[in-house]
Amino acid sequence: MLRIGLLALSACSLCAAQLIPRQVLFDNPQKSSARISPDGKLLAYRAPDGGVMNIWVRTLGRTDDHVVTSDRRQGVRSFFWQADSQHILFLQDTAGDENYHLFQTELATRSTRDLTPFEKVQAEIVAVEPTRPDEMLVALNRRSPRAKDVYRLNLKTGELALDTENPGDVRVWATDANLQVRAATAFRPDGSQEIRIRKDRNSAWSVFQTLGPEEMPGGAVAVSIEGKLWVISSAGANTSRLLSVDMETGASQEVAQDPEYDLTSVVIHPTTGAVQAVGVLKDRMHWKVRDKTVAPDFEALGQLGAAEMEIVSRDRADRKWIVTLERDDSSPAFYLYDRGSRKSELLFEMRPALAQYRLAKMRTVSFRARDGLALQGYLTMPLGLEKRAPTILLVHGGPYTRDRWGYHPLVQWLANRGYAVLQINYRGSLGYGKRFLNAGDREWGGKMHDDLIDGKRWAVERGFADPKRVAIFGGSYGGYAALVGLTFTPDEFVCGVDLAGVTNLITWRKAVPPSLAQLSALLDRRIGNPETDSELLRSRSPLFHAERIRVPLLVGHGANDPRVPKAEADQMVRAIRTHGGDVEYILFPDEGHGFAKPQNSRRFWAAMEAFLAKHLGGNAEPPSEVEKWEAFRQ
């Protein structure tokens, strides 16, 4: 173990936890993403092959595991079964450019073909139906980079035929059991959402509901075999709720709602399309069973322990489920659940090596912002230290997402190095209703940042955080927030880390990729219009306040980032150096928005670990040969 840094922690905190190697935390998991085949006979999962994540298959009940894909670049990140149980389908982009292609792998021959071999075209899965094993619906922006049309794909011949043309504003499609597009969610020029329905593929569209720009994100979810459309909507309520819509008459009724929190998850039967359970994410996930036939299953799965449970895969007969269990202080695990016996079998843990180490517990916290708004978040203290810990304010990206309870590798890594980790669901975060969401409108760098500072001060006042040793770190919006923290509130932090953060709201808004153009009006409302609100955006952009940075900053970025272009980081680093500031810049030429390659993530975390140890005084593991980042320094 290497101790780097000028500030020493107490002896008890240094000895409280064994140092967990970064390789254990951030290298490829041993296994992940288990999926059962539609016929219930095979299990597919992701695991390393030649150091790269590929898809493996084994017969349930046997140990005949074998790899079926042969990616040698950045690895397969998401996949699903074709309905014939003989092929695997997966999406893959190139070096983080987000131009995803759809690939098909045949299990018998292990051959893979590109089903959407088009340059600068994004593929998106619309629907796969168990009763139609040889076709599926896929959305492609071939005709226009701004909108994806729906194509019917013959999975035997590879033939693509236009099924439903996008009028230019649709972002989400919903289909029925006959693989027909029956509903669509569109974003209108004023930022509102329009939910449209039709009787069949040959019928005209009609508008079921319009959600104003102030409403929660919602839209069409799925169509049941009986012709009911399931819709998520906050119209007429503060929180998102589930509605059942009669596709013939357009009449709707409420199915599920929570008065304080948005509906987060909907469990739908894979063949009938019936709603079986809904999930509401409060401080933890709370499931409400709607279908009495699965109530004993949820009860049996609840006996596995205090963990977040999710059904991730089911066979066509609905007799076997693949379920994930996630705790805050252990590796996520995958189980095979048999509905007949109601027994669960552990398939694997993603990172079994973590069992050798003690992990920290994550606790829920709540407090009031300076204007009285109720805020929630999570605090993770390092083992053996409950007071005055050096602290990382870890800001989630989005910003229209939220932090949640569970296993978080970054949190465990930082806590293991001796830092308290504070995560705040600041105003504008999802999950707390539309009043909370709208409280963040035009507050980038304003009240959204005040919430973070109020959280930091709460932690100091309660004695958890050492006021002289607090850093701010985040990715994407969190990276922007870190830069705001060092420019707008320069006395609050001793250092900061920005990963893929926005630096100039004007240039960033003008560089929104075509695939996100439909959201422009909504972004105008949430953030500001670069043409009419340039003064506001300039005042909230860290770039124009670079001279205020008085503490060290670490910046990381991917050269191929389509969401926050590399120019955002370049101009900020240039401005800081012009004013004599202390900034280290690490650029990865083969990454996009975040890390796809574990060696790159480990390189950045190794650099960040040394940086934090130097300025906050925590523990640091010396970089391995794989983790050395000097070649990427700008």
Catalytic residue among 476, 515, 541, 601: 476
Verify whether residue 476 is a known catalytic residue. Answer: yes
Nearest alpha carbon to residue 316 among 622, 38, 626, 37 = 38
The residues near 411 (Cβ < 8 Å, ≥ 6 apart) are 360, 362, 380, 394, 421, 423
Catalytic residue among 258, 262, 315, 561: 561
Contact 240, 221 (CB under 8 A): no
Verify whether residue 408 is a known catalytic residue. Answer: no
Q: What is the DSSP secondary structure assignment for residue 493, as one 8-state letter?
A: -
- φ, ψ of residue 358 to 5 degrees: the values are -85, 130
Question: CA neighbours within 13 Å on the CB side: how many for 264?
Answer: 19
Catalytic residue among 101, 408, 557, 593: 593
15-50 burial by CB neighbour count: b if 16+ within 10 A, else e?
ebbeebebebbbbbbebbbbbbbbebebbbbbbbbe
Verify whether residue 101 is a known catalytic residue. Answer: no
Contact 569, 600 (CB under 8 A): no
Report how far Cα 393 is from the mean position of its chain's Cα atoms: 19
Tokens describing residue 149 = 């049309």
Tokens describing residue 55 = 């898809």
Contact 154, 133 (CB under 8 A): no
The residues near 172 (Cβ < 8 Å, ≥ 6 apart) are 184, 185, 219, 220
User: Is the bond into 409 cis (omega within 30 degrees of 0)?
Assistant: no
Ordered alpha helix ranges (H), 344-425: 409-416
Contact 90, 76 (CB under 8 A): yes
Q: How distant, in Å, are the alpha carbons of 91, 174, 441, 497 from that of 121?
A: 12, 21, 32, 33
Q: What is the DSSP secondary structure assignment for residue 162, as one 8-state letter?
A: E
What is the distance between the alpha carbons of residues 606 and 595, in angstroms, rounded to a whole number? 14
Looking at the annotation, which residues are catalytic?
A: 476, 561, 593
